[in-house]
Structures are given as structure tokens and as C-alpha cells.
Amino acid sequence: MAKILRRHSLREKEANKIILEFSKKAKASTEQLFESTKHIEAIEIADGQIYLINGKPLVASSSGKLFPTLFFNEVFSFLPKIVVDMGAISYVCNGADIMAPGVVQIEGQFDTEDLILIVDERHSKPLAIGLAVLDSKTAKQTKHGKIVKNIHYVGDKFWTLLKNL
């Protein structure tokens, strides 16, 4: 499990910057994603940060990239979705990237580097958040190779830490 190095409140200017940057990345307005009060705490771990917005672990960053945590259910309706077959679940939950043969369905339009929600085909449960390697049009035509780079998944250091908070 990841070790918390530091936990602190962000200044209003820093908090607003993160909120705006994340809203652009999620392609939704701040009003659609967040309540009016925007108190943000940062939890620093070795490989990144987790942001508690109004006390909820909604956003994280790693390698300078912001992404929603798998606990931020409100953002899922704004993200394009890739449905994977049941055979791909164990690989995705071990950090594997999403490969074309495991994809059952692609919902929504996206460009390369856009955030993508990965769900299972049976229950539509969120498994991972990734960054698109291909745009949606190309991804739908692809039969082999990588479609999405997995950046946050069930069981990773962020998920484990947040589950135990």
C-alpha cells in the first residue's frame, strides 16, 4: 500500500487551477462536476497526489496528469466508455493496457490522450481509467494492438489507499 508522505489544504488559487484543469480534461463544466464549495486537500504519495474535494477523493495525479479516481462516480457519465469482455478483467485489474481483442464495445467519441472509463461487460462496473492511444474512429476499426493506456485501476496504489482512508 502507498504511504502518505504529506496531507495539506490547498490555497484557493491552487484549488481553482486543479478544478479548471480537470474540468477541461473531463470535458465538463465545473458546475456539472463539483458542488459549490470547493475545499481541496492534497494527499501526497511517492508517485503522485490524490485530491480530496469537499472531503471526497475525486481526482488524482501521476506523472503530471490529472485523472478521476474510481470513486468519482459523478464524472463517469461525461467520459467515453470502453466495455471489455470478462476475460480481460483480471488483466485490466493488474494494470494491463486495454487491447483491441478484449474490447466488446466503444461508447462515445474521443481523441488521443482523452480520459476513458473502462467497464466490464456483465455489470458495467468501473475497472479502470485510461488515456486513449487512438481516436474513437480508429479504435472502432482496430482489431489488434493497444487502444487505451491504463493509468488507474481497481487494486492499484491509489485505489488501495483510498479504499482504506
Q: What is the pTM of this model?
A: 0.93
- CA dihedral sign of residues 138, 140, 145, 150: positive
- Paired residues of 129 in beta bridges: 117, 152
Cα gap 88→84, rounded to integer Å: 6
Cα gap 66→144, rounded to integer Å: 28
Question: Is 3's pLDDT higher than 70?
Answer: yes
Tell me which residue of 161, 165, 142 sits closest to 152, measured CA to CA: 161
Cα gap 127→153, rounded to integer Å: 6
DSSP one-letter code for 4: P
* pLDDT at residue 30 in the model: 86
* Helices (H) then strands (E): counts for the chain: 5, 11
Question: Is 12's pLDDT higher than 70?
Answer: yes
Interior angle at CA 150, CA 121 and CA 31, nearest 5 = 80
- Return phi, psi of residue 127, to 5°: -110, -35
* pLDDT at residue 164 in the model: 81
- Paired residues of 6 in beta bridges: 44
pLDDT interval class at 37 (50, 70, 90): low
In this prediction, residues 39-44 reach a mean pLDDT of: 93
Please, what is the average pLDDT of the chain?
93
In order of start, what are the domains of the chain with their CATH numbers? Answer: 6-73 (3.10.450.120), 75-158 (2.30.130.10)
Cα gap 46→127, rounded to integer Å: 23
Lowest mean pLDDT among 24-28, 84-88, 93-97, 113-117: 24-28
* pLDDT at residue 88 in the model: 96
